[in-house]
Structure 1
Amino acid sequence: MMEVQKKSFEDKYETFMDICQNFQPVFRYFCMEKFLDPAVWFEKRLAYTRSVATSSIVGYILGLGDRHVQNILINEQSAELVHIDLGK
């Protein structure tokens, strides 16, 4: 990873695209598989969106850094984000 930082933009882009070929995004299926009723699906999708927006704003105001997939969970019943590891 460190050697890529020193390369040109084109090389960085090519490396990024190579990495993307190895990952298939599946989160888009979470709500479709967990919430089969259309009204519930919409409600949970809205709850997820609002929790992302709220946690982003609160995190910015509080100066939370180091937010990555290892310290953000999703509540499977409410579809809301749950932040863990809030230490600096």
Structure 2
Amino acid sequence: MASMTIRNLSDDIKQRLRIQAAEHGHSMEEEARIILRAALIEHTPPINLARAIHDRFAPLGGVELDIPPREPMRAPPRFG
């Protein structure tokens, strides 16, 4: 495994890293590895609901839903 040294790290950042590492029960070095790993691993973008539904039913030839006829708006109820 490779090693690396980070220079010119502000005291504030170092202190915040120390606190976060302690909260998670890790050494500062392990916490820095976890942060770097999480930041650099490729994340697949979340799929939106419409795309998920389309992809689910596309192999079946799709699904066509009937659009219900529009009706005039009814009058709001009167209380009083």
TM range (shorter): under 0.3
Larger-gyration structure (1/2)? 2
**Relative contact order: is structure 1 or structure 2 higher (C-alpha 8 Å, sep ≥ 6)?**
1
TM-score (norm 2): 0.26
TM-score (norm 1): 0.24
* Greater per-residue helix proportion: 1
* Greater per-residue strand proportion: 1
